[in-house]
Copies of this chain bind each other. A is one copy, B any other.
Amino acid sequence: MSKTIDFYFDYSSPFGYLASERIEELAAKHDRTIVWRPILLGAVFKVTGQAPLTQMPLKGNYSMRDFARSAKEHKITYKHPENFPIGAVAACRATLWMRDHESENISKHTTAFVHAVFQAYYVAGKDISDTDVITQLANDIGVDHALLNSAINEQPVKAALRKEVDDAIALEVFGSPMMIVDNEPFWGNDRIEQLDRWLDQGGW
C-alpha cells in the first residue's frame, strides 16, 4: 500500500475546493493515496473561536478578493455561491460512507464524488445542503441514490462524521484544507508548494 495524504476539508471552504482540484496531481507525483477527510469547520470553530472568513470583522471583503485571485492564479473556475457558507452535513456523511464502504465497488467513487460536490457548489451554484442534490450527484457517478439516502440517515454514519471531526480536532486540525503527511501538517491551498517540496526531500 502506498503512503497517504490525509486531506481534511470543509465543503464550505473555498480554499478546500481549490486545493481539491490540485491535490491529485501532487499525490500522483509522490505515489501517495489521498484519504478524503470531510469535516465541519463549525465544530472546529467552537474550539478555536474562529468564524467563517467572510463573516470576520475587517476580513470579509478581503477574503472575497482572495478567493477570486487565488482561483485565477490556478486557473480554476470559481463562482462565489450566493448561499455561503452552507451546511454540508449530508455531503460529509455521504463522503464518509462512500470512503469507508469497500464492498459493492462504492469506495472507488469517493474522489469523483468529492469533486462533484465541490463543483456543484462553486461552479454550478447548486444547494449542496439539500440531501436530494447530494444523492443525485452520487447517482450521476454510479452510486445508487436510494442506498446512499438510507445510509446517511443511519446512526453509524452519523457517528462516523462526529468521530472524524473529533479526531481531526485531536490532531489540531483547525482549518481547511489541512493536509497531513507522515504527521507533518500543511494548512492552506497556498502551502501545496511547501508540501510538494517536503515530499520531494523527505522533510527539510
Contacts and interface: CB of A to CB of B under 8 A. Distances in A.
Contacts of A47: 57-58
A10 to B, nearest CB: 15
A22 interface: no
A48 B57 contact: yes
Main secondary structure of the interface of A (DSSP, over half): helix
A194 interface: yes
A58 B73 contact: no
Given A58-B169, A174-B59, A197 B48 contact: no
Contacts of A197: 73
Contacts of A50: 56
A188 B59 CA distance: 13
Given A190-B190, A197-B73, A185 B48 contact: no
Contacts of A198: 69
Interface residue tally of chain A, by bracket?
20 to 34
A90 interface: no
Given A72-B204, A173-B58, A194-B73, A187 B66 contact: yes
A172 B191 CA distance: 25
Interface string A58-74: 11011001100110110
Contacts of A62: 172, 174, 185, 187
Given A47-B57, A58-B169, 6 more contacts: A47-B58, A48-B56, A59-B174, A61-B172, A69-B204, A190-B190
Interface of A: 44, 47-50, 56-59, 61-62, 65-66, 69-70, 72-73, 169, 172-174, 184-185, 187-188, 190-191, 194, 197-198, 204
9 contacts: A48-B57, A48-B58, A49-B56, A56-B174, A59-B172, A65-B185, A66-B191, A69-B198, A190-B191
